[in-house]
Structure 1
């Protein structure tokens, strides 16, 4: 299952104002647009903002901004999405980020957060260049507590699924996962042999492909 496939099973994106927070180079923003959404792609990294502008059509609003200080008007969005990006928000400003989500969403709007778990074959390789065990664990704990509290957001659906990505060669993995981040690339250069060995051991070739799997959970809330 893919992120957008699951989201569309819960929410009709056609002609909806949707903000993709932590949009990166615009991969998921482009998929949201293909489903008919009117997309605002928000990204903190200025270089990735330029990449997203190049990838997306002029119909998308590509903006530099932070989750805790969104460049969006009050009550302007039908849906806010975090695809594997919520755990990158510093935990000190998680509360502010959720307040911002509540501010920019319309009454009855939706918050959709997909977070990777700190396990799986993808994680086993990626953790060798950036170990996100702590931040992922903390993120899931926060989202679970948010679901239990039900003060600002009401949990409509929580679904666990596995995201599967194909990496025919180690070079493909490097280009998509490691070399997009200079910090990761620096660590990789000092540990190439061990990382490539872990990649070879983690790779799933059982169906004739070359896959890594990342278990995740999607939390789908409505604004109260």
Structure 2
């Protein structure tokens, strides 16, 4: 997670992202919002109101306004290795979070500090050899009973592959199969987990999206998330 690599694309992130996903007919805001909507719905059904939230690899803050709207009383930390991305995020959303730089290996917080850790399409940028350590760090800073949501691109979806191949900041990306990252999450101590596949239809077929809740176990959605809960014991 080289800071220079992320800094290189910080100012152009939104434009390049929008261009890469144009075949979906949607905007980057659509993809940011649906993730937070999903997280909020799951937590609401469990009666959970997170006190502190970590937006891990939050970049230029694309998820931040939706996190703030969904969890208005929560303290939010946006964590990223790119100083330039953090500067952009803070200018976009002053006062809405604490903008924290980190070294890409050690989360600079004590054990059990966060009730929710949210990760949006970050791990495909991280070399595989660093996954285990970072997932252990995420597990470490979660409270007992805390929730972890990791969203990723699905390598089985052809439109996703097209978007990644045509996105400059995904040049070095390595897409991750859901079952593989779920196994890594379990190895980090978060064994209570499930996989949910998302976004099966482009905007042209948006009227069919009400059917997606019945397709969540079919591994052809454009993205997926792994939801894990840290043991309370």
Equivalent residue number for residue 182 of structure 2: 144
Q: Which runs of 5+ in 2 are unaligned?
A: 1-30, 207-220
Between 155-164 and 58-67, report the one with greater CA deviation.
Answer: 155-164
Report the CA distance between 1:205 and its aligned residue.
5.3
Q: Is the 8 A contact 1:67 1:89 kept in 2?
A: no
What's the C-alpha RMSD, in Å, of the aligned pairs?
3.0
- Number of paired residues? 180
Closer, same or farther: CA 32–134 of 1 in aligned 2, 3 Å: closer
Q: How does 1:147-158 map to 2 (within 5 A)?
A: 149=186, 152-158=189-195
Closer, same or farther: CA 6–133 of 1 in aligned 2, 3 Å: farther
Q: Is the 8 A contact 1:74 1:104 kept in 2?
A: yes
Equivalent residue number for residue 73 of structure 1: 110
Report the CA distance between 1:71 and its aligned residue.
1.8
Equivalent residue number for residue 107 of structure 1: 144
Closer, same or farther: CA 114–125 of 1 in aligned 2, 3 Å: closer
Q: Is the 8 A contact 1:42 1:62 kept in 2?
A: yes
Closer, same or farther: CA 206–33 of 1 in aligned 2, 3 Å: closer
Report the CA distance between 1:68 and its aligned residue.
2.6
Bigger fraction of residues in strand: 1
Q: Is the 8 A contact 2:192 2:230 kept in 1?
A: no
Equivalent residue number for residue 6 of structure 1: 38
Report the CA distance between 1:133 and its aligned residue.
9.1
Q: How does 1:92-171 map to 2 (within 5 A)?
A: 92-118=129-155, 119-130=157-168, 135-137=174-176, 140-146=178-184, 149=186, 152-162=189-199
Report the CA distance between 1:38 and its aligned residue.
1.8
2:139, 2:226 → 1: CA distance? 15
1:155, 1:132 → 2: CA distance? 33
Report the CA distance between 1:120 and its aligned residue.
3.5
2:204, 2:114 → 1: CA distance? 42
2:183, 2:112 → 1: CA distance? 24
1:43, 1:80 → 2: CA distance? 13
Residue 62 (str. 1) matches residue 99 (str. 2): yes
Q: Which runs of 5+ in 1 are unaligned?
A: 166-203, 208-213
Residue 216 (str. 1) matches residue 219 (str. 2): no
Residue 21 (str. 1) matches residue 21 (str. 2): no
Q: Is the 8 A contact 1:41 1:61 kept in 2?
A: yes
Report the CA distance between 1:113 and its aligned residue.
0.2
SS of the aligned residue for 1:69 comes to coil
